[in-house]
Amino acid sequence: MNKSTRKAIIAGNWKMNNTRPEAKELLQAIKPLVANAENNVEVIACVPFTNLETAVNVTAGSNVKIGAENVHFKKNGAYTGEISADMLTELGVEYVVVGHSERRQYFGETDETVNLRTLAALEAGLKPIVCVGETLEQRELGITEEVIAMQTKIALKNTCEKCIKNVVIAYEPVWAIGTGKVATPEQAEDVCAFIRKTVEGLFNKEIADGMTIQYGGSMNAKNCAELLAKPNIDGGLIGGASLKAEDFNTIVQAAVEG
């Protein structure tokens, strides 16, 4: 494995937070702080749909990229309340979070729909950040690897070798999200390495070694350096700590060092 051949990505996932004026203020604060990361770390803010246009405009010309938090898998049609991949690319959005555990838990997202959303995103030219992660019960049952393998394999079903370069995987153990209970660097490293092995099995070693695999779940300014120093952890998907410019920047800087 050679971490230096992979792109480090620090992405904020704002979840259901921030109105447009708040989004503008936060991004304006983040931009100058992370400007030095341009050549080393991809910095992304994944924001609510209503903030996307504002976010794209505020970050234009900077090294902060914008992502959405979900995307529908149909191109268009009678799907009230949904947003298509083309609608996102037309706004200038580059990334999209797919299969976040909150979507799986509260909105009936399944491995199959995660796969469909991943394919729809790729087809439209978006870069999906595909989330996988076990629940506490699954970890305690000793089936973490089975769950992660299944989620990863189904999510990546039918992705072509050319498109796979645009896929990012985020390992987010459900028990660590928003709980303050972060995975130990060793736990996170083990699962990220396992995801890479799984991707190697699906494609090949070159693709697996080139894939950015993030950790997410209570990553913050204090614990980020240890996590990001691990050989298979190529970045972070940050919830709560991405809502404060200083904290988010500390994580970006840890990735720059890292």
What is the set of active-site residues?
A: 100, 172
- Are 118 and 167 in contact by the 8 Å Cβ rule? The answer is yes
The amino acid at residue 28 is: Q
Is residue 99 part of the contact set for ligand 13P (CB under 6 A)?
no
CB of 173 to ligand 13P, least distance (A): 10
Which residue matches tokens 């999200």?
A: 177
Residue 41 CB, shortest distance to ligand 13P, in Å, is 17
Q: Residue 112 in contact with residue 154, Cβ under 8 Å?
A: yes
Strand 213-216 and strand 127-132: the pairing is unpaired
Nearer to ligand 13P, 202 or 243 (CB): 243
Say if CB 35 and CB 4 are below 8 A apart: no
- Under the criterion CB under 6 A, does residue 233 sit at the interface with ligand 13P? no
Comparing every residue's Cβ against ligand 13P, the nearest one is 239
Give the end-to-end CA distance of the chain in Å, rounded to a whole number.
15
Q: Which is nearer to ligand 13P, 36 or 135 (CB)?
A: 135
Contacting residue, 8, 219, 228, 256, with ligand 13P by CB under 6 A: 219
- HSE at residue 167, side-chain half, CA atoms within 13 A, is 33
Query: Is 10 in contact with 251 (CB distance < 8 Å)?
Result: yes
Q: Does 252 bind ligand 13P (CB under 6 A)?
A: no
Identify the residue among 109, 134, 172, 189 touching ligand 13P (CB under 6 A): 172
Residue 136 main-chain phi, psi, to 5 deg: -60, -40
- Beta carbon nearer to ligand 13P, 16 or 78: 16
Using CB under 6 A, which of 21, 32, 125, 178 touches ligand 13P? 178
Footprint of ligand 13P on residues 110-169 (CB under 6 A)? Answer: none
What is the nearest approach in angstroms of ligand 13P to the Cβ of residue 178? 4
Residue 233 has φ and ψ, to the nearest 5°, of -100, 110
In the complex, the residues that contact ligand 13P under the rule CB under 6 A are 13, 100, 172, 177-178, 216-219, 237-241
